[in-house]
Structure 1
Amino acid sequence: MPCPVTESPHRPALGIGCGAWPGSSLLIFMQLHNDASVLVRPGPEAAFLAKMARRGGGGDGAGCTVAECAVERREIQEGLSPNHLKKAKLMFFFTRYPSSNMLKMFFSDVKFNRCITSQLIKWFSNFREFYYIQMEKFARQAINEGVTAVDELTVGRDAELFRALNMHYNKANDFEVPDRFIEVSQVTLREFFNAIVAGKDADPSWKKAIYKVICKLDSEVPDTFKSPNCLQELLHD
């Protein structure tokens, strides 16, 4: 049976072949990425292993052997769970641009290797992409509705923009979103509004200036998130 493909028009591919996820492993992987943001492309395991074997390593610059890459692929299945994905989404309310060292600190129950680090970084990249797409969408919508002053744009817990974001990162609505995230969302929305009104979107790289502003607005992630069982402590009934 051909491998199912789910594709989003605005998300980059993960670049992981379905051939590497036979049977129940594929099901686990699809559950782990249980939204339309993920593209899974069919491809043989051999192609993945060859690619990984050619890839340079970490600090020593050495590539992994085929056997090592196979072990790394297996550890992704064993090391990352749907709970890790949910935890990462909740962390996004505090940090949009986590470093790899931060991820290792907050996912201490995961045995890290290049593949797992890359996958976690990819999650946050996907989170950011959805976030910025929503910001541009609502900024253009406001302009089309006749908004001319940036001060007219506000984001609150009852705003449609906030509801869209909360539904994506906190679908069960069982986590209290911090006020700081709402403040950052308002700043982001206004940055997009000002850039579009000024015609900066004519430049293909116009969003980079916004990214530089937003990356400085990360806040500290609560220490509670360092616990492997943090979801039990953080989520309310």
Structure 2
Amino acid sequence: DLEYMLDMERYSNPQLRITYNADQTTVDGETYNASASPYVRSGVEGLIMRDGAPKNLKGYIKSTEIDNWSCVASSTRQTEIPKGNDIIGYMQGSRYSDDKMPYWLEHHELTFDNGAWQLYDHEYERIKALEAMWFPREVNIRYRKDMVTAKPIDLCVGVCNKYGSTASNEGNLKLQLAHEGTWNIQDTVCVAHAGGAGPMCAHEFYIGGQFPHQNCYFPLHKYSGEGEFGIDTTKYGRIDIKTTTSSSVSTSANLQTVAEFVIPTGE
């Protein structure tokens, strides 16, 4: 984007900060091995343009976590969107291993000025249809996972279109895809080994699907008539996101809301 990108020439010492916990083994319902001596790598990719750096940049897009909470069944979480900059959209996390996404987004709405009016008020089935319309391009994921026989893993996409893997153990026989429940969107895969229960082995997965099903993104510029870059938050007394969970939701997970703001050049 030659109008909205971070102009690094305006900063004397830009830094990337990564926070990690080597002792934590369970994240979003998935359990991993702990590393006694973690080694974190980072790198930078430069965008070099033939005609030089773009001029007169309008600003850049900043992603900010605006809420993080422990899930409670049959409850409504109200999250106020911070005022100040235009908001172009937000991502609502709905994440816990092997659990149905509609449990987390049974009902979802966006209200203005303490409920004076609503931009939208959706049940999950409507959100699912909108996601497919807004983001028609296939999501492709590639990652490595240690697996054991008959233990399912989450493929991290809704409506899986393709998948496969290479395994470190030649005794691996097959991968079996399963759709969760009647919603047809929580795709899991099980591995089988020759002779029954086999040892744990590493798999390199390549996956394609409709959308990252455990995170719903709401592009506000698709809803509002204020232009390409969403909503001017300073026009309203307050803007609230309301997310209602079902009675069946797991209370072992944390949910997150991440908003994307347009930050003017110089701020």
Query: Scaled by the length of structure 1, what TM-score is found?
Result: 0.26
Higher helix residue share: 1
Highest CA radius of gyration, 1 or 2? Answer: 2
Query: Scaled by the length of structure 2, what TM-score is found?
Result: 0.24
